[in-house]
Structure 1
Amino acid sequence: MLKEVSATRYISPLREGGSLPGLVEADDLGMYVMKFSGAGQGRKTLIAEVVCGELARRLGLRVPGLVTIGLDPVIGLGEPDQEVQELLKSSGGLNFGMDFLSRAIGFDALAHRVSPEEAGKIVWFDALVNNVDRSWRNPNMLVRQGDLWLIDHGATMIWHHNWPGAQASAARPYDASDHALAPFGPDVDSAAAELAPLVTEELLAEVTAEIPEPWLADEPGFDSADELRRAYVRPLLARAATIHERIELSEISEIHQTREIQGTREIREEGAE
């Protein structure tokens, strides 16, 4: 199971995302980016973070260490920001945390180079989990000491918001034309050949076992947490075998995307002068 820590100090909000994650210190003296159970997106965002983060790690991709964070709402009593205070008050109990990567910077396609092999693995993985939040506008990747790290997987596995249509939703193609790594010529076929055989029922069962039981409770249509865990396994297992054949990524879109990124960079630079 994921390591469990307890929050001892709320440091500051991180306002880049809509869920208003926060930087906290825990009783193991670690610093974590915390996502709250009381945020508007609800517990399914936290489940997606666990499943995708742990699956990515087992496939050899870099993801900061994941933990669960126990939160006593009393920690928010001295918080001056009313929005943050309400979020802390509504998130008592178990929350999601990710190691804070000090000295990491946001990925910039014009400042960092990525090999076709690494780009292919990340695009394939994002197609597997249907990640709709890895565009060049919001890459959700960090760079530290030249290494690329994947973060923020809350907007994945959209099918778990409508279980009756999960299998049909999981069969849909993946549009990677706007992906942050599209300009790097992702070698998706090689990635699929290497990674797809690793996505077995046993591996997925291992990954879903990491989901804390309280986040699985009272899901309509399911009699137990284990039954719901198996429901997460089925779409991913089916998708892994053939999703590389349905990734929409063209050279034309890569060229246009690179030009658009360059144009946005130039506008920013002009505005800073």
Structure 2
Amino acid sequence: MKKIHIVGLGLLGGSFGLGALSKFPELQVTGTDISEQNLKDALTLGIITEAKEKPDSDTDLVILATPADTLGALLKETLDQIGENTLVIDLGSTKAKLCREIADHPKRKQYLAGHPIAGTEYSGPKAAFADLLDRKVMIICDLEKTDLTLKEKAYELFDALNLKLRFMDPEEHDRHLAFVSHLSHITSFMLGKTVLQKMEDEKNIFDMAGSGFASTVRLAKSSPAMWAPILTENKENILASLDGYISNLTAMREKIANSDSEGIYQEFAEINKIRDILDLGK
């Protein structure tokens, strides 16, 4: 592997660039970003070795790390541009719609649908770091539709970055992510909004905000430019997850309204089992 091109030089794209260069010092990493400032920062920070609008014809991998609602058009445009030995990988948080849109493209075999389960609440090239992907899960969808030889280029990079690969179909991916990722971001943003609204009346409310509040609302610091498109791209699954969440909140409100201390205790004790599940996954 000699050349990688990255479109979108924020947290994920930037971390892929830094990680790849740390493992392959002779690698040429070109890239572009819609933001001129991001592009300048990426060059300054050593995320890319050269700014370039389009990948060279002999580029091994093109990584697309832009907002979810831009990936459909960008993927088609990129596939139209590349030579026969280039593989395109997207890092989007939604997969089903994208895979449907690209299903009949003549270069479909040169595309790998990926999603690294990695990130922080920060965004932009300055938030990127080389070890972001270390020991993180990389979900791959529709693997059988990607050319066997080109897959090896992706595997070489994934292995070097110490990513753990998991395979699933696009619909399963989107359904699961709606519950374990997308819903948690909505919850965090809405908790933040609720407290900000309260702050309009009681200026000292944040003086009482401890570590529990900080950890719960942390995701509300995430990029709106990234998350607003995810919620519309995966709308049906997210609506289903929200319906379940709202139903549970309503039931808990009823228990509190009825001073049902025993019912609250029993429900919380049952939910405590998630601790064992999460500990098992570490």
Q: Give the TM-score band, short-chain normalised.
A: under 0.3
Structure 2 length-normalised TM: 0.25
The structure with the largest alpha-carbon Rg is: 2
TM-score with structure 1 setting the length: 0.25
| Larger helix proportion of the pair | 2
